[in-house]
């Protein structure tokens, strides 16, 4: 076994590998960029080496610097994690040339599966079933479009060197093909340095099921059953589970055998994942093989009781697989939910910011949290916005799903928008509970998952108002205690007024809904609220206490416990079943510069990739105007109507802040209006 390994990655996977290495008595070396100087994986490792600037292309993607760090520290092996250099054949070859073990498959296997087109040709020869499509070498746009037109729409464009939904576009009609192809090629080139494409028939209601395989250097191979990864947005997984619900044991065995057939066709070693599309009639088709550990590997660990990183290290050190196929068994059910810094209500756009408050659920044999961040850390524009992976396990799917919902309700994050509430809504949706799954699940059940009824918002108005009243009283009491006359009536918080009631007006913004609250203080601890919102007017009585962030309320006899965290004028209210953001609406003093609002603003902090039109050019509605990229995702800003791009305030390569003005756009006048003038 190795004495010391270097982890050529960052974040939660680096921390994950360090934990297993520490368990085995193996010393670890971390590498880090400027942005990660104070990151958790750096502090956890025994040693750490700085390898460059914040952008991954200036640090984590520089193979030479990673290898220099390994040689500097005397690391015998490199674990690549996932992403970055994990499926880079040249890096694997460079490790071999420097007598450093690459903890992954042989170079030939990476090369074989590195191109989706080549992989499908190999799988076809091996007898693994394939989705109909074009995987040829001729990459001319006309040929790609010709094949798409011939097989019929919808089709799926996929980067041959890609993964994780990058360089992938659904195309639903022929006239959209050219623009989708350009975007997919551009994103693929940016992410993988390769813009080659394949075109496949897009199956509209498949399940995404993948098989975990493992092979050793002696030629032994096993599959550790399957994971269902059907619930996705932008072809990126959101919640994964193992085993796949409702899986026919005969189909499981057939998929497992096909996955091993795929692995043996390329003389595979180590951990790999063979991904399939599973149709309703139990037919399945090979999609791709990932020659690395997957993000969702923990659910497989939970149902098998095996540490897959330990398996990787043992196989890379030349040891045989720890278990045979007959010794592997499925025990219980497991889910993984990916906690992201993103805004589900804004097309899942990634967000940046500081984790001003971070309280994950308590870990136990049933609950596991894999993360690479701590409270106070920054989620930056340079890397993937995943905060953590929440993994749960129990004896069956229903109980594991209850564990997931409970753990999500206990996951508390403040300082930025996250997808925690979205995940909770998804996990508690009836179709998900019934395992009615396919890759279009989120779109199909959008109204159910994204529900935000006015009456649900109003449930939290009393708690928000009570917190503001009690916090105001606490602050007043603290100020009084520091004064020369703490017993002065000017410091009193008992609600007394000469000849009038003590009424305060609270204009609140709660989860995007404006609500006005009139709060009358009856005495030091009791209040009467009249809530006026867009839907109804309600009067209630409440009382309570505030201890730090802990809020205890009695609302018309209903006792509720919550916690509230403040950050830059925004309050995060956490209850057992929801996380709500609220703020006090400040008086509108008018816009000091109305002209500054003219134009388009950046929806997120990111880099300008391209300006498809020139200033002064007339454009049509929905035509692409600005293309920007952040956190490995490309976003296109389109014209809201026919008009003219008067001026750009940015250029390709510029790093712009979220909210920055990008374009001065002038909408075209209608003919009737022009004629009247």
Residue of 292, 368, 403, 412 with catalytic role? 292
> Do 232 and 277 touch, CB atoms closer than 8 A?
no
Q: Which two tokens stand for residue 495?
A: 């609600």
> Do 36 and 10 touch, CB atoms closer than 8 A?
yes
CA–CA separation, 412 vs 90, rounded Å?
A: 42
β-pairing, 537-547 vs 550-555, is antiparallel
Three-state SS for 219? coil
Distances (CA, A) of 100 to 86, 103, 308, 317, 324: 15, 9, 21, 11, 28
> Do 168 and 632 touch, CB atoms closer than 8 A?
no
Q: How big is the chain, counted in residues?
A: 677
β-pairing, 77-79 vs 4-7, is parallel
> Do 80 and 66 touch, CB atoms closer than 8 A?
no
Three-state SS for 359? strand
CA–CA separation, 504 vs 429, rounded Å?
A: 39
| 95 CB burial (10 A radius; 0-12, 13-18, 19+) | buried
> Do 335 and 299 touch, CB atoms closer than 8 A?
yes
> Do 258 and 251 touch, CB atoms closer than 8 A?
no
Cis amide bond preceding 96, omega within 30:
no
CA–CA separation, 42 vs 457, rounded Å?
A: 41
Three-state SS for 392? strand
CA–CA separation, 662 vs 158, rounded Å?
A: 30
CA–CA separation, 94 vs 64, rounded Å?
A: 9
- 292 as an active site residue: the answer is yes
CA–CA separation, 319 vs 505, rounded Å?
A: 71
- Please give the positions annotated as active site: 292
């Amino acid at each position: 076994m190795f004495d010391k390994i270097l982890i050529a990655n960052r974040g939660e996977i680096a921390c994950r590998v360090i934990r297993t290495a520490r368990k085995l008595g193996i010393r670890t070396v971390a590498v880090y960029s400027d942005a990660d100087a104070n990151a958790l994986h750096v502090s956890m490792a025994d040693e750490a080496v700085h390898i460059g600037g914040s952008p991954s292309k200036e640090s984590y993607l520089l193979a030479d610097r990673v290898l220099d760090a390994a040689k500097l520290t005397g690391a015998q092996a490199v674990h690549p994690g996932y992403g970055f250099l994990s499926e880079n054949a040249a890096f694997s070859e460079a490790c071999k040339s420097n007598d450093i073990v690459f903890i992954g498959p042989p170079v030939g296997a990476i090369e074989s599966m590195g191109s989706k087109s080549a992989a499908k040709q190999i799988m076809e020869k091996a007898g693994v079933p394939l989705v109909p499509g074009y995987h040829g070498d001729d990459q001319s746009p006309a040929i790609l479009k010709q094949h798409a037109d011939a097989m019929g729409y919808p089709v799926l464009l996929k980067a041959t060197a890609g993964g994780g939904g990058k360089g992938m576009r659904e195309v639903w009609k022929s006239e959209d093909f050219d623009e989708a192809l350009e975007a997919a090629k551009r994103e693929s080139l940016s992410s993988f340095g390769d813009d080659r494409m394949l075109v496949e028939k897009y199956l509209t209601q498949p399940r995404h099921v993948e098989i975990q395989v493992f092979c050793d250097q002696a030629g032994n191979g096993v599959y550790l059953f399957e994971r269902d990864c059907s619930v996705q947005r932008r072809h990126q997984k959101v919640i994964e589970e193992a085993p796949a619900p409702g899986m026919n044991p005969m189909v499981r065995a057939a998929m497992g055998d096909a996955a091993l057939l795929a692995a043996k066709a390329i003389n595979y070693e180590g951990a790999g994942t063979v991904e399939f599309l599973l149709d309703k009639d139990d037919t399945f088709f090979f999609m791709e093989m990932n020659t690395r550990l997957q993000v969702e590997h923990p659910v497989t660990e939970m149902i098998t009781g095996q540490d897959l990183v330990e398996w990787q290290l043992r196989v890379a050190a030349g040891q045989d697989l720890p278990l045979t196929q007959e010794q592997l068994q499925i025990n219980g059910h497991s889910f993984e939910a990916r906690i992201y810094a993103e805004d589900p209500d804004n097309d899942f756009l990634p967000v940046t910011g500081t984790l001003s408050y971070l309280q994950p659920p308590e870990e136990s044999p049933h609950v596991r949290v894999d993360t690479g961040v701590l409270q106070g850390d920054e989620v930056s524009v340079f890397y993937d916005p995943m905060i953590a992976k929440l993994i749960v396990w129990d004896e069956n799917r229903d109980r594991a799903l209850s564990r997931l919902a409970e753990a999500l309700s206990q996951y508390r994050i403040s300082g930025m928008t996250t997808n925690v509430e979205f995940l909770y809504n998804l996990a508690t949706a009836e179709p998900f509970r019934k395992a009615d799954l396919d890759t279009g699940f989120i779109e199909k059940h959008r109204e159910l998952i994204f529900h935000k009824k006015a009456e649900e918002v109003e449930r939290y108005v009393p708690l928000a108002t009570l917190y503001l009243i009690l916090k105001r009283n606490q602050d007043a009491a603290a100020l009084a205690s520091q004064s020369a006359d703490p017993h002065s009536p000017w410091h009193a918080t008992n609600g007394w007024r000469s000849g009038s009631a003590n009424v305060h007006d609270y204009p609140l913004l709660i989860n995007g809904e404006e609500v006005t609250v009139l709060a009358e203080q009856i005495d030091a601890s009791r209040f009467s609220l009249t809530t006026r919102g867009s839907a109804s007017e309600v009067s209630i009585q409440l009382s309570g206490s505030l201890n730090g962030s802990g809020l205890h309320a009695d609302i018309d006899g209903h006792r509720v416990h919550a916690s509230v965290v403040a950050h830059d004028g925004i309050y995060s209210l956490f209850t057992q079943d929801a996380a709500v953001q609220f703020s006090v609406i400040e008086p509108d003093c008018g816009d000091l510069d109305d002209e500054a609002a003219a134009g388009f603003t950046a929806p997120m902090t990111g880099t300008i990739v391209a300006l498809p039109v020139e200033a002064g050019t007339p454009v049509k509605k929905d035509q692409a105007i600005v293309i920007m990229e952040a956190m490995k995702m490309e976003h296109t800003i389109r014209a809201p109507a026919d008009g003219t791009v008067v001026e750009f305030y940015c250029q390709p390569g510029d790093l712009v802040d979220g909210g920055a003005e990008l374009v001065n756009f002038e909408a075209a006048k209608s003919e009737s209006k022009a004629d009247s003038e």
